[in-house]
């Protein structure tokens, strides 16, 4: 049956999932590349190293104060995704290659305590890197709004497409910038925000606060940063890791739903800290989160900081 005129057509989830799988399967083989790991300054013999691993369309700036943790004994290392902060789009992100780069850097400092701080896609890199670092008991992982293994990211793509279609319908626009800025509100607050007067008012404040600051997946950034994640499954190294892992996850995350993250935390024998009312961007929506993260990494306070 052909859809009647004037009615929006929402992609069937299985079609989007199939497209996601084919996109990942047909992605070009990884090219040789220089590890995109950067430090603000050198630390000769660090006792502690923190890796900042951002998610798609974000940079290490998403971690706020953690960017300034460098001291004479604490080295902070920033990972830059393809297409961000001057990095080329090619080669695209490869989760396991990125994990090897991070682990290789950490293994050059066998006496240092290692912190892996990952957001969304970066959390997947952190989980994989933890199992590749020598003496993984010295490793602490904090995974914020973590991606989940297959079919997690592929289903996340389905959820994202549905959310973007919803934003197009709500705004009455097909302009990519307009639709993406509206969808950013869903990522920030979580699904269902339009039914709450309080959250609609919050949405308007967010539109004003983030005007002109939102990165879009255009110019190939979305594909380059996300294709590898679509077929990601936990490696043997990740499953064998003895790193201490803590998840912080929004109760209303529209991309990676909480039940899937709960199952992932169980598989990894990790602590799960649920953030009530938060969506996919608690680093922006919850001002105290990085203070809690810092306490978790330092081993002070409770299991959720």
Strands 113-119 and 139-144: parallel
Residue 11 banded pLDDT, cuts 50, 70, 90: very low
**pLDDT-wise least confident of 7-11, 81-85, 154-158, 163-167:** 7-11
The per-residue pLDDT for 12 is: 37
What value does the mean pLDDT take over residues 209-213? 80
How close are the terminal C-alpha atoms of the chain, in Å?
Answer: 55
Return d(Cα 300, Cα 251) in angstroms, integer: 24
Q: Who contacts 18 (Cβ-Cβ below 8 Å, separation ≥6)?
A: none
Structure confidence at residue 32 as a pLDDT band (50, 70, 90): low
What's the average model confidence in pLDDT over 185-206? 83
What is the per-residue pLDDT for 233? 97
- Arithmetic mean of pLDDT, 35-49: 95
Pairing of strands 139-144, 74-79: unpaired
pLDDT at 159: 87
b (16+ CB within 10 A) / e for 31-48? eeeeebeeeeeebeebeb
Token reading at 25? 């399967």
Per-residue pLDDT at 18: 36
| DSSP letter for each residue of the chain | -PPPTT---PPPHHHHHHHHHHHHHTSPPPPP----EEESS--SS-SEEEEEE--TT--GGGGGGGGG---SSEEEEEE--TTSTT--S-SPP-HHHHHHHHHHHHHT-TTSEEEEEEETHHHHHHHHHHTTSSSGGGEEEEEES---TTTHHHHHHHHHHHHHHHHHHHHT---HHHHHHHHHHHHHH-TTGGG-HHHHHHHHHHHHHTTT----STTTHHHHHHGGGGG----HHHHH---EEEEEEETT-SSS-HHHHHHHHHHTT-EEEEETT--S-HHHH-TTHHHHHHHHHHT-SSTT-
Domains of the chain from N-terminus onward: 37-150+233-298 (3.40.50.1820), 153-222 (no CATH)
pLDDT tens sequence across 268-295: 999 999 999 899 999 998 989 999 999 9
pTM recorded for the entire structure: 0.84
- pLDDT above 70 coverage of the chain, percent: 90
More confident residue, 93 or 159: 93
Tokens representing residue 5 in the block = 């005129």
């Amino acid at each position: 049956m052909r859809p009647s005129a004037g009615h929006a057509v929402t992609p069937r989830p299985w079609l989007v999932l199939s497209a996601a799988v084919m996109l990942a399967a047909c992605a070009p083989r990884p090219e040789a590349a220089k590890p995109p790991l950067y430090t603000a300054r050198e630390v000769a013999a660090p006792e502690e190293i923190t890796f900042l691993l951002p998610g798609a369309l974000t940079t290490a700036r998403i971690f706020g104060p953690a960017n300034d943790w460098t001291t004479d004994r604490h080295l902070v290392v920033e990972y830059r995704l393809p297409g961000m902060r001057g990095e080329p789009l090619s080669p695209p992100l490869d989760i396991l290659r990125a994990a090897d780069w991070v682990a290789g850097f950490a293994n050059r400092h066998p006496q240092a305590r290692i912190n892996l701080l990952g957001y969304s896609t970066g959390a997947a890199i952190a989980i994989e890197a933890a199992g590749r670092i020598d003496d993984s008991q010295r490793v602490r992982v904090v995974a914020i709004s973590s991606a989940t293994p297959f079919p997690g990211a592929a289903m996340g793509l389905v959820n994202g497409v549905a959310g973007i279609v919803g934003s197009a319908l709500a705004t009455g626009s097909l302009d990519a910038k307009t639709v993406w800025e509206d969808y950013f509100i869903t990522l920030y607050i979580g699904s269902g925000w339009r039914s709450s007067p309080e959250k609609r008012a919050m949405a308007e404040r967010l539109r004003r606060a983030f005007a002109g600051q939102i990165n879009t997946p255009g110019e190939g950034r979305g594909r380059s940063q996300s294709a590898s994640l679509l077929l990601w499954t936990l490696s043997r190294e990740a499953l064998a890791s003895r790193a201490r892992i803590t998840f912080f996850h929004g109760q209303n995350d529209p991309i990676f739903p909480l039940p899937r993250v709960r199952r992932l935390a169980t598989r990894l024998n990790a602590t799960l800290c649920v953030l009530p009312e938060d969506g996919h961007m608690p680093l922006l929506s919850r001002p105290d989160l990085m203070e809690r993260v810092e306490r978790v990494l330092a081993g002070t306070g409770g299991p959720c900081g």
